[in-house]
Amino acid sequence: MTGLLILAVVVMVAGFVATMMIGESKSNKKADPNYFKFTGKKWARLSGIYIACIILLAVIMIVIWNP
Q: Are 50 and 20 in contact (CB under 8 A)?
A: no
If we measure between CA atoms, which residue out of 53, 35, 54, 31 comes closest to residue 43? 35
Would you say the C-alpha torsion 26, 27, 32, 36 has a positive or negative sign?
negative
* pLDDT values of the chain reduced to their tens digit, one per residue, 67 residues: 677 778 888 888 898 888 878 777 776 666 666 666 777 787 888 888 888 988 888 888 888 877 6
